[in-house]
Structure 1
Amino acid sequence: MHPVEFLPGETVHLRHFQRDRLALVFPYRVIEANDDAVILWAPAGTQGWLFTMPDGRGIAQTPLPEWSAAARVPVRHTVGHGMLIWIPYGRDYSVRWFFHPDGSFVRWYGNLEAPSVPWRSGDAAGLDTSDWDLDVVVEPDLSWRWKDEEQFTARLAMPESYWVDDADRVRRAGAEVIALAEAGAFPFDGSWCDFSPDPSWPPLPRDLPEGPPRM
């Protein structure tokens, strides 16, 4: 049994770290949870936080050595699409279903990342991971493409500042996602594409939680 159990309907916060610095925090509602994976949901309009430079610059506007060395501050960010996420424990990726605000399915997104670590701290709960930048976009017809290859390659050339230290591992994770898509296997088998949230669910919280240090 996984050391942290999540309950359907509860709120968890997904946190992305870049080494020991927070980069992103977003609230989600637990849809399903078991020992192997958790499925999370956030509707269009959900607010989370991106961590930026104190002067407001994001990572795209900041040299990577400066970005990685700086203390960063949270800035509210609103997502314009609904998102369902399947997070399989122990895997080097998660898979996301994107939905239009009207509830219709858009596409899948294979997010390559460190295996998520679940946590509880007081009244807060969440999962911690590190985003590896390179991703795989999968369309409804199961065609796929790599995303952010140039950015990934450029950052690998600055290992003293980059939080990714094993490019081969990242590409192997992408190849696993691609193989699932080409086979039409879960999560690319049509499951959850017609997902509809329970209209009685309350809005997700809008406050930045007090979570533990990086797990």
Structure 2
Amino acid sequence: MDDQAACLRLLSRPERDRHDAFKSEPARLQHLAVRGLVRTTLSRYRAIAPEHWRFDANRHGRPFIDDRLGVSGLHFSLSHTHGLVACAIATFAEFGVDAEPRDRDVGLAELAPAVLSPRERARFETMSGQARQDFFFTLWTLKEAYVKARGIGLSLPVKKLELDLEVSPPIAHFGDEIDDDASRWAFRSLRLTDRHIVGIAAAVPDGELEIVPRRTRAINPPLHV
């Protein structure tokens, strides 16, 4: 409860209102963990107290630091899923992060035609078990990270973004429907826990992507006696 109380004190009024509106306890805890993590993480890089950060969002819902704070050269991307909250920080704007559980049951066979390129799908069809799950969610998280990095919502045809996972790091190929240069982008897949896959997509200005993973304690759920 101390963790939750500390995080609650950091929230803005709209964040607190949204927290209070959640009907389920897991949803409230996840929202609290996301907002607490981004605030405390940003404060590692600027002399701004966690409770003083203010945020805005573009028309597609991508959040960013409120311009009125006068902060430059600091950007973030968020993802949350069952058991994990990911907050990526960079000095440049074009990057994104996405996280998924390795065992998520979402009907992969039905999703594959909408998400995977023909070549990716052909390889997917040869797989089974955990290898099939990992292959799909590695591609899913990398593509979702790219969508977040572009900040233009779900209009991108992700199956026209093809990733070659047989090389490390993955190499991307974009179809004509994606108005972008694939050579600008670096893609990385991480296993930050045994149960999750995390994808990062970044258009690094100098061409070199350096990732420094850090882990922090999650908010402890209340004890039920």
- TM-score, reference length from structure 2: 0.31
Q: Which has the larger radius of gyration?
A: 2
- Relative to its length, the structure with more strand (as a share) is 1
- Relative to its length, the structure with more helix (as a share) is 2
